[in-house]
Amino acid sequence: MSFDTLGLSPALLRAIAEQQYTEPTPVQAAAIPVVLAGRDVMAGAQTGTGKTAAFTLPLLEHLYMRHARATGAPRRPRALILTPTRELAAQVQDSVRTYGKHVGAKSLTIFGGVGMNPQIDALRRGVDIVVATPGRLLDHMQQRSVDLSAIEVLVLDEADRMLDMGFLPQMKRVLAALPAQRQTLLFSATFSTEIKALAAQFMHAPDEIQVARPNSVAATVSHRVHPVDAEAKRDLLLYLLEADAAQTLVFCRTKHGSDKLAKQLDKAGLRAAAIHGNKSQNQRTRALADFKSGRVGILVATDIAARGLDIDQLPRVINFDLPMVAEDYVHRIGRTGRAGAEGLAVSLVSHAEEGLLRDIRKLLKQDIAIEDVPGFEPARPLRLDGPGGSGGPRQPRNGSPQARRPHAQQSRNNGGEHAAGNQKRRRRRSGRPAAVKS
């Protein structure tokens, strides 16, 4: 199948060709004709499979080819795309500009962390598409600087997060301001039963599109668990990062933990930056840009980076902390193994996180390889024979049990220096501290 068969206009096909895309992904092939037919859609697909283009292309077709604005009519927003994070809003805006370059698309991003006045000025000049986060959109609604009465299409990107309890009050206020007669599109990698029930309250007989098993992950991603005592996690992370200098996205559970870990890695001689909700928008934008360009090799992030961020050919994601919600594991590791590329998802799991790991394995319906790293074996092995199945394959990371280095409990008590021998000497020669201290 080619894009020519989906019912898109030549101007859009030209923009697609300029990006050197020739065949639609499964979610694009399934969703675009249904969206063009004007029906509501709930679409679920794995991360990295082109969901943004699956709604952006038919949206542009609707606004500029099939239902163009009448000449001389005031230019009010006709489409609203809501996202849970500023970074995702910016990426969606990039897609709108890329695919809409030959149809005269006028769009605007609205999110916090930056001044409102430039956004107000742009709204006054007139736009057709608003890409927004809920909080800043509500600010504009309160100031009456945005008029949503002409919205024809509403898109919720990463819909499960948009509709969870944290966003629900904001979402209800936004929905109340929209015309009842509109097309509503929900796109996400995961849809819970509760989210489907909630969505049914404001959608009109939506078509459900699921191109892969719900909560599944790309087959090109390899999963690996390294058991480790909690107090040794930072040393193990440093050991892994020094052994393999591949670009890495590291997930932490808290904002403070992300900042602390990034500073420790940077002090150890590794180029690292942190991104989380307490950073200013300029800091977040700079950190992400530095990571994408390679100026920074390690990005330490909270789950703010788990949704929608498209980083070309990212080889590895490391979960320094497991997520509290199993579905977030799917979104985190979706940053690697995108568009058919191979990826690696590594999780450093302490005894206290056994239950979280069981939940993840139960959600994925698959075992995850458990590999001890010599010198970092935990005092107590993980017990995963509860809900979610057996412990899965377990083996030392480097060779046979006889090849393991002895357990480094005494080293850990004397400053956390787990890696012995050549690694210690190499660090002393380079001037780096022997271990990252908590």
pTM of the model as a whole: 0.66
Using an 8 Å Cβ cutoff, are 354 and 328 in contact? no
CATH class of 3-210: alpha beta
> Who contacts 381 (Cβ-Cβ below 8 Å, separation ≥6)?
227
pLDDT tens digits for range 276-321: 878 877 888 888 889 888 899 999 998 876 665 667 678 899 999 9
* pLDDT score, position 215: 55
Single out the residue of 354, 321, 319, 320 nearest to residue 333, CA to CA: 319
Using an 8 Å Cβ cutoff, are 128 and 69 in contact? yes
In the chain, residues under CATH classification 3.40.50.300 are: 3-210, 221-430
* pLDDT score, position 305: 67
Residue bearing the bigger pLDDT, 437 or 323: 323
Q: How confident is the model at residue 213 (pLDDT cuts 50, 70, 90)?
A: low
From the number of C-beta atoms within 10 Å of its C-beta (0-12, 13-18, 19+), residue 387 rates as exposed
pLDDT tens digits for range 237-270: 999 999 888 889 999 999 999 999 999 999 999 9
- Map 274-308 to HEC letters: EECCCCCHHHHHHHHHHHHHCCCCEEEECHHHCCC
Single out the residue of 388, 381, 390 nearest to residue 356, CA to CA: 388
Share of the chain above pLDDT 70, in %: 81
The verdict on domain 221-430 having CATH code 3.40.50.300 is: yes
